[in-house]
Structure 1
Amino acid sequence: MSKTLQELLHMVDRRTRVWLAVCGDALENAESICSTYSNEGYTCMNQDAVRNSFFQKTIEYTQGRNWLEIGPGAHALLTQMALRKPTLHSLVAVEANEQSALEARKCVKHDSRCRIITGYSTTYAGEKCVDVVLSEIIGVIASSEGVIGVMNDLRMRRYATQSTAMIPARAATFIAPVQLGSIDICRGGNVYASERILLLRGMRVDSANLANDVGMLEDLHFDMLIADRLTHHSTLQIVKSGQCHGFGMFVGISSPMPCRRYTRSKIATVEKWHANDMWTTSDASDHHYSRNWRNPVALLSTPLAVCVGDVLNLICIVDHATTSAPVYSICYSLNGNPMGQLTLTHTDMYPTFQLLQAEMKYDRSYSNMTIPVKQQP
């Protein structure tokens, strides 16, 4: 177990549950995510009032007769929002998970305008040039659940055209060097940990960030084709001396509307990104943040000491962005000196987690503990 992970786990209080990734047992791509059914996951999305308010207001504002939805889920929450519009003529929802599709049909069975189809969007063959494409397949990193490939496919096969309204219209993943404290780690009540990544709910970027701003890992515009390789450069100035445990990330989604959710973001890059659009992020610095997404922290093997005035340069690369298993690379240098590179794959972000036994957590014996390994049948 790395020095950074040991240090962070020592900060966990007795009320917080620790989940460790099982080596050799993970979801390998977006299709494997679709194949799993989690009522708990759908319930969590339903209870995210801020996320749902974003979609509700965007759907109410968007005009169109023929709608196509990708991934309605078992509860078909966004589907039902759209069906409240009297101007909607037809809605086709494509759901990859057979059990979820079955449950979704029960939710909308009384509305003849809606049809739930079981299958992947890439095999869908229906009416082209729809007025609106509705989806929420944004992952812990925005593109990690295959949204780029899905949207590109719809555009290349002419289901989405220049006149098609996309909900959301844009998604991004922001990144910052973070020093985590006990409050940051324990705020969500559960910590999901592996050698390369920590998954947290409710991370406050304003308190954890060591820099004056945040960088950009990816910025996705769904009104155009998106490349298979994405690169973003960010230069950040360190404003707090400390130990950088890794790079914390949070996602944002936006749609063009003639109003803003509230006055401004606390973070300059986010403020510039969303402009006058309707938007929400998973950054808990915003008191009205979306709670559905976990915040990933790409961990350094050893904490990096930084001082006020240092300049941190980040080069963030997304390879195979249009596939169902993108690869993320974060190259970082301090004051012009290359310091290293972190790489995250789909299996790093979506492993199977095992709850750590209480007695092991309480005696703080992390230094002698190994990550559990999947048992072979």
Structure 2
Amino acid sequence: MKRVTVKGKKWYYFHPWIYAKSLVDDGEASPGECVEVYTTRGQFLGSAFFNPHSKIVLRFYSREKREFDYHFVRNKLERALEWRRSLYPGENSFRVLFGESDGVPGLVVDKYGDGLVIQVLSYGVERHKKDVIYALQDLFSPSFIFEKGDSSLRAEEGLPLADRLHHGEIPESLQIEVSGLKYLVDIAGGQKTGFYFDQRENRERVASLVKGTRALDIFSYTGGFTLHLLKAGFSRVYAVDRSKSALALLMKNVELNSFERERVVPIEKEAFQFLDEMLLSGIKFDVIILDPPSFARKRGQVEEAVNGFKVLHDRAIRLLEPGGYIVTFSCSHYITGEALLESFTVPAMNLRRHFVLLERLGQAKDHPVLLGFRESEYLKGFVLKETT
């Protein structure tokens, strides 16, 4: 492998990324090539993917001198799969591998029953994709391997945006079961890989904590929280999403789980528009779930994102019945938990509404947070209850 030299002491602490500004000598490596990384003093730091097209010029996959090949990937997948099976015994759908947190930077593998959906988000994995596909086929014998290639992170790596079916055929109607509930999933046309496994434990926990009869699920997508609220006994759930296809799938999921359709009010509308209109209706809710898409995809968007959360929380508090619950999330690693909580506290104080923090929430266990790598901790949430 070629030798690449970097400067700076930050990298001694095993952060899996090195940025372009710290590169001293690229060793004439090509995009996606495996390289050995050294400091200017000659200290070996590890083996990494090299990509001159990205701000993240090096992504470590090992702290030893070794190539990234079939055997390496297979070993990582076996360990990750064993761990997930211990986390979710009896479950057949979950995130198998979560990029850097599982030692394979830029690779995401989600298991949907006997099929697999992957995301390739680094040039290194792209260059070695054949080894990845072979390892997945040998370990899982899947009915299909579908690559979801529409992430903006691929563009940042200098990679084309395109989906690809690597193996088998995608069923016309893909059904999975998660936490005792059934879901129809659109992996090709849906968001991310089709389903948000990262909210698995949060859905269960929230449904066990909140009480009431009428709930509002903003940014409902295909009904993860809606279904759990129905299961918990809520008589009416308003599900709001701007995607017509997502709401159609949500209603199919309601029927799939034998819940009465009339208990759900699907509303195709932009969240902020809906909230403003609801303020005029006089309808209020015992529970409000706020699970928006990322408000800050870049560091420079944080201030605008926090302001957006303040508006969102202000509207939600106004629509809450006295003594009700608000559950709020942010899925951007740029937004800290403290910033999210502050964006709720400010409008609550302005409205003279008093809340207690019942519980802090994070991403599911199959999305592990790698210590020293704060970018891997992106999902933060809070369960808040008004005190009367």
Larger relative contact order (Cα-Cα within 8 Å, sequence gap ≥ 6): 1
Global fold match (TM > 0.5): no
- Which structure's CA Rg is the greater one? 2
TM-score by length of 1: 0.40
- Kindly indicate which of the two structures has a greater share of residues assigned to helix: 2
TM-score by length of 2: 0.39
